[in-house]
């Protein structure tokens, strides 16, 4: 049975399994549409309703007021967000980004004012996209929650990066999977059953070889077989 080498492919397989295990043990906070709905209803929905009513009344004969809006299931916001990252020394550093673009999910599609984005030389191109809103997080508990979730997940991701690097460093000390498993038994939870079977098969074969050697040694010693062989070799073949 061939040895299971600690190949680059196997290391990557273990690393991916570790990341999945980390996520299960430390689940990130989900983007709950409830909070996006509350922000929309408090800050945007009423104004959209008013604008639609005025536009339908004043511009009904000249344009389609609904063209001023688009339906979206996400709310685009900007807010000051602290982002976390890892350093080369495997420590976490933080940086505040004053106008971080963020996305808040909505439970259903809502009318969002359109925004015209121009770009290119002399601004000759333009795109129509949903407007982005700047709502101070300290003024709305729901915006604060959305931002806090983003910050929590960012720091959690940085922690996962540090833990992953430690696993990589540990695995770099071994040339075979068997060595790694002896040093870190919990690693077996991150290795495929197929590769574990190969390791166990080899270990079982080694145990059988050791047992056979022990049986042979006892038999040889008890029957003086080695003496017989040595004596025969010393006498030689007279024929």
Domain boundary assignment for the chain: 8-174, 194-229
Q: What percent of the chain stands above pLDDT 70?
A: 79
d(CA 45, CA 140): 15
Exposure of 199 by Cβ count < 10 A (0-12 exposed, 13-18 middle, 19+ buried)? buried
d(CA 52, CA 46): 10
Q: What is the pLDDT of residue 135?
A: 93
pTM: 0.76
Q: For the ranges 110-119, 123-132, 179-188, 223-232, which has the lowest average pLDDT?
A: 223-232
| pLDDT mean across residues, the chain | 84
Alpha-carbon separation of residue 138 from 11, 81, 97, 146 (angstroms): 45, 12, 15, 12
Task: Summarize pLDDT for 133-185 with one digit per residue, the tens.
Answer: 999 999 999 999 999 999 999 999 999 999 999 999 999 999 999 889 989 98
**Region of 86 on the Ramachandran plot (φ > 0 left; ψ -120 to 50 alpha; else beta):** beta
Tokens coding 4: 């299971």
Q: What is the pLDDT of residue 215?
A: 47
Q: What is the pLDDT of residue 61?
A: 72
Q: CA torsion sign, 165 to 166 to 169 to 175?
A: negative
Q: What is the mean pLDDT of residues 25-35?
A: 95
Question: Is the model's pLDDT at 11 over the cut of 70?
Answer: yes
Q: What is the pLDDT of residue 105?
A: 96
CB neighbours (10 Å) of residue 105? 16
Question: Is the model's pLDDT at 224 over the cut of 80?
Answer: no
Q: What is the pLDDT of residue 139?
A: 92
CB 137 within 8 A of CB 147: yes
Q: What is the pLDDT of residue 56?
A: 80
């Amino acid at each position: 049975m061939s040895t299971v080498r600690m190949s680059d492919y196997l290391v990557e397989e273990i690393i991916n399994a570790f990341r999945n295990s980390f996520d299960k043990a430390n689940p990130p906070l989900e983007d709950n549409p409830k909070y996006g709905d509350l922000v929309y209803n408090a800050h945007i929905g009423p104004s959209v309703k008013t604008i639609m009513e005025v536009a339908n009344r004043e511009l009904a004969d000249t344009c389609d007021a609904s063209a001023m809006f688009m339906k979206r299931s996400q709310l685009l916001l900007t807010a000051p967000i602290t982002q976390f990252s890892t350093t080369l020394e495997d420590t976490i550093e933080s940086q505040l980004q004053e106008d971080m673009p963020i996305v808040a999910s909505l439970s259903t599609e809502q009318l969002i004012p359109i925004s015209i984005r121009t770009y290119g030389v002399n601004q000759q191109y333009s795109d129509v996209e949903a407007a982005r809103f700047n709502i101070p997080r300290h003024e709305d508990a729901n915006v604060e929650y959305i931002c806090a979730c983003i910050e929590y997940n960012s720091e959690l991701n940085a922690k996962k990066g540090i833990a992953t690097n430690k696993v990589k460093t540990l695995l770099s000390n071994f040339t075979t999977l068997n060595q790694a498993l002896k040093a870190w038994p919990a690693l077996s939870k991150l290795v495929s059953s197929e590769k574990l079977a190969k390791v166990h098969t080899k270990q079982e074969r080694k145990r059988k070889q050791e047992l056979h050697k022990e049986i042979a040694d006892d038999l040889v010693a008890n029957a003086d077989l080695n003496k017989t062989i040595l004596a025969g070799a010393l006498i030689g073949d007279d024929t």
